Amino acid sequence: MSENTERVLLHVKFLNDRIEPTIESVRTGTSLRVVARTALDGRVTVAGSVSHRVHRMRASGKVSRHWQTVRAFSLFRTQAGLVVLRVLDKAIRKNSTQHLFVGGEHLLAQLLRELGEQTLLEAVCRDAWDTLDQNVRAVEGPAFEGPGMRAQMCLLLQDLQGEALRLIGDLPVASERFPLLKQISARGLGHSGQMYFLDATAYKAVAENVFGKSRYRRPLAREIERLAEHTLPRLDRPDDLFHDMSVLNWFRLFRGLVPIDWIVDSMRGTVNYTGMVLSPAELVQARALFLRVAQPILGRILAEPMPQSTRIIKDTVKNLGNRDITWRDLNLLPDLIKARGQRRIRGAQDLETLVRSMPVIRVESRSYARSNRAVGIVIHEVDALHMMHSYNEQIARLESLELPRATWELWNDPEFRKSADEFLAEHRRELMTAQQRAYEARVARDRQRRLSVEKERAAWAADVAARLDGLRVGEYRLVVAHDPETLARWGCQLNNCIASYALELGLDVFVAVVDDSGRVRLNIEINHEVGVVQFLGTNNRDAVKELEEASAQRVLDAITGIGLPVSEDALGLRHLARPAQHVAVL
């Protein structure tokens, strides 16, 4: 055969031209098309899709329509003789792949039944789900007349299923293609790691499929045999056992990157389990990650328990981002590891932390940018049209002759929009009620009251800061913060969150206790209403743990000695004597 050929197996199309287009768009048609494509090597692929005709009216009145694929599938035979059914659901952006064996014909029948239901959903009457809508006309396919439309569609899909299986050929027998496994999971066969057992009659062949012939060791085959003999019960059918060999995908990530003996040692400490496995896309990203990681770090990751390291690496590759939106450049990773030091990357958790610290690059593919522009235009037109309708309703209610009723062309005129906005703003000011004016006056009074309180607090803070700044208490000196940079420096030195109080600077007083060497030992917060509220050292420790009890008491006495009280809920004053009576705040 010299060229590819394509033959239509089934094409059903319905259209409804009586539905008026809207600015948000409506569906006015549906189509189910299934074709058989023959490749140069003679293999046949059966592919089909369900599409909806989207009918939309632009805000300017221009009508546009296009066909949008909702769901698609393909059924084909691989070069290894396996039959694969791939389904793409664009509504939820999900692509699923499963293998068909003898006895799995119902999976194809179920898919075709769902496609038929999805096609009829837009074509049948809502009152009678088995009759063609009177406004819908059949454009392609057999003539659907009278009731029994579902039965006619089912007959077509049954014939289609038989024709598809005839073109694809006989389905393989699972026990013949995977003699070492007791049970086969058709869904996600490659994802579950069972593909390594294809046509393998000895575990040596499986080990070579996983790690390569040059890296084969007899202990590898023994460990794979041990893992394969451990079957797991299904959750829905406990009596039915199955193999989950996705554990092999994890060890295959280290192929060629670490000595094979390291992998054998890690496999000996691993049991087969149903855990959080990596998807095919995540396996590709994890391999790209490991290629840029030094061998000693990979050895530490292998030495960790597999369930723990698998979950961490899964989260790590998710943090790499999406190449259509944001991405982290893995080429920077070797330099970051070198700067951090290999010994400080003690396992998968430290590697994830390092990846999270990498800069995020903003990227945008052409398709993504084109989609964003289209969505932005639609949203802009919908919002503008709603604003125009609102304007016309207000003009009609006012019965004003000053401005005309807006059309889309007139609404896009900047001069008209400016005059319309000024007219409506003036009208709203004229219709402002006494209650609205009273509300605005109340808001203004509250604002003035708040400003006066802040002015009083600022005067109080300036007075207290002037009395405490530079005050000597034994071998320590009190320093008052006057800018956010000082708070940030104190927070870094004492590892606390005092930098987050920058908005209160100038209204409350923040003091540092500094020794003769210039080292900050304590941070103190003094509030206008309650006085001293925090008296903490490094890592928010109590003052006594940071200083000696006598020194901390002298500092507290110096602060309360100028008339400042201490809050009952103050932090960091454990084991310190507070003043017997609270003196009024200055």
Q: What is the 3-state secondary structure (H, E, C) of 520-575?
A: EEEEEEEECCCEEEEEECHHHCEHHHHCCHHHHHHHHHHHHCCCCCEEEEEECCCC
Residues written for the chain: 586
Find all residues with CB under 8 Å of 83, minimum gap 6, and list them: 75, 76, 77, 99, 100, 101, 168, 169, 171, 172
Query: What phi and psi, each to the nearest 5 degrees, are found at residue 265?
Result: -65, -40
CA atoms of 37 and 4, how far apart (whole Å): 7
Q: Up-side HSE of residue 97: CA atoms within 13 Å toward CB?
A: 13
**Helix, strand or coil, per DSSP, at residue 187:** strand
Name the residue type at position 426: E
Q: Which residues contact 281 (CB under 8 A, 6 or more apart)?
A: none
At 291 the pLDDT is 94
> What is the CB neighbour count within 10 angstroms for residue 400?
12
Residue-level pLDDT, tens digit, the chain, 586 residues: 445 788 999 999 988 888 888 777 888 889 999 999 998 888 899 999 999 998 888 777 788 888 989 999 999 999 888 999 999 998 777 888 889 998 888 889 999 999 988 888 877 776 666 777 778 888 888 777 667 788 888 888 899 999 999 999 999 998 888 888 877 777 667 777 888 888 899 999 999 999 998 888 899 999 888 888 766 555 555 555 556 788 888 999 999 999 999 999 998 888 766 555 788 888 999 999 999 999 999 999 999 988 889 999 999 998 887 766 778 888 889 999 988 888 899 999 999 999 988 888 877 677 777 878 878 888 888 888 888 888 888 888 877 667 788 888 888 888 888 888 888 788 777 777 767 778 888 989 999 998 998 899 899 989 988 888 888 888 889 999 999 899 899 988 888 888 888 888 888 999 999 988 888 989 999 998 889 998 998 898 888 888 888 888 888 988 888 888 988 888 888 888 877 544 444 4
Span between the terminal Cα atoms of the chain, in Å:
99
SS3 content of the chain, % helix, strand, coil (to 5): 45, 20, 35
Closest by Cα among 217, 228, 281 to 255: 217
- Whole-model pTM over 0.75: no
**571 closest CA partner among 464, 461, 558, 545:** 545
Q: Three-class SS string for 379-419?
A: HHHHHHHHHHHHHHHHHHHHCCCCCCCCCHHHHCCHHHHHH
Helical H segments across 469-525, by residue range: 484-494
Chain-centroid distance of CA 131 in Å reads 43
State residue 65's pLDDT score.
85
Kind and range of the H or E run holding 228 = helix 218-229
| CB-based contact 37:47 (threshold 8 Å) | yes
Q: What is the largest CA-CA distance in the chain?
A: 103
